[in-house]
Amino acid sequence: MSLSARALALRLLALSTAFSVFTASQSEAQTPAAPPPAPQPGWHLFGSWRVRPELWNFFPTSKADGSYLFTGSMLRIGVQRHTSREETLLELEQPTLIDLPTQAVATAPQGQLGQGASYFAANGGQVASLFIKQGYVRFKNVGNRANSLRLGRFEFSDGMEGTAADPSLAYLKRERIGQRLLGPFLFTHIGRSFDGLTFAVDRPGHNITAALALPTRGVFSLRGMDTLSDVKIAYLSATTTRSGKWGAQEGRLFGLYYDDVRSGVVKTDNRPLAVRAADKKGLHIATVGGHYAWIVPMGASKADALLWGAGQIGDWGSQRQGGFAFAAEAGYQPANVSLRPWFRLGYYYASGDGSPGNSQHGTFFPALPTPRIYARFPFYTQTNLQDAFAQALLRPDARLNLRLDFHKLALADGHDLWYAGGGAFENATFGYSGRPTGGSRDLGTLVDLSVDYQLQKTTTLTFYFAYANAGNAVRNTFAGRDADMTPIF
Statement: residue 11 has pLDDT above 70: no
- From the list 169, 55, 152, the residue with the least C-alpha distance to 464 is 55
pTM, two decimal places: 0.91
**Confidence bin at 151 (pLDDT 50/70/90):** very high
Q: How far apart are CA 19 and CA 463, in angstroms?
A: 10
**For 287-309, how does the pLDDT look when each residue is reduced to its tens digit (9 = 90+)?**
999 999 999 999 999 999 999 99
Domain membership of residue 128 (yes or no) is yes
pLDDT given at position 64 = 84
Domain membership of residue 91 (yes or no) is no
Domain membership of residue 23 (yes or no) is no
Domain membership of residue 424 (yes or no) is yes
Give the number of other CB atoms < 10 A from CB of residue 87: 18
CB 372, CB 332: distance < 8 Å: no
Domain membership of residue 459 (yes or no) is yes
**For 88-98, how does the pLDDT look when each residue is reduced to its tens digit (9 = 90+)?**
999 999 999 99
Taking residues 149-153, what's their average pLDDT? Answer: 98
Q: How far apart are CA 101 and CA 249, in angstroms?
A: 46
Statement: residue 197 has pLDDT above 50: yes
Range of the domain at 426: 121-487
370 Cα distance to chain centroid: 2
**Confidence bin at 458 (pLDDT 50/70/90):** confident
**Confidence bin at 41 (pLDDT 50/70/90):** confident
Domain membership of residue 37 (yes or no) is no
pLDDT given at position 26 = 35
**For 98-148, how does the pLDDT look when each residue is reduced to its tens digit (9 = 90+)?**
999 999 999 989 999 999 999 999 999 999 999 999 999 999 988 887 899
- From the list 339, 326, 244, 322, the residue with the least C-alpha distance to 286 is 322
Domain membership of residue 11 (yes or no) is no
Q: What is the CATH number of the domain that holds 221?
A: 2.40.160.100
Query: Whole-number mean pLDDT of the chain?
Result: 91
CB 65, CB 106: distance < 8 Å: no
**Confidence bin at 22 (pLDDT 50/70/90):** very low
Domain membership of residue 325 (yes or no) is yes
The share of the chain scoring above pLDDT 70, in percent, equals 92
Statement: residue 327 has pLDDT above 60: yes
**For 216-246, how does the pLDDT look when each residue is reduced to its tens digit (9 = 90+)?**
999 999 999 999 999 999 999 999 999 988 9
Taking residues 57-77, what's their average pLDDT? Answer: 91
How many domains in the chain? 1
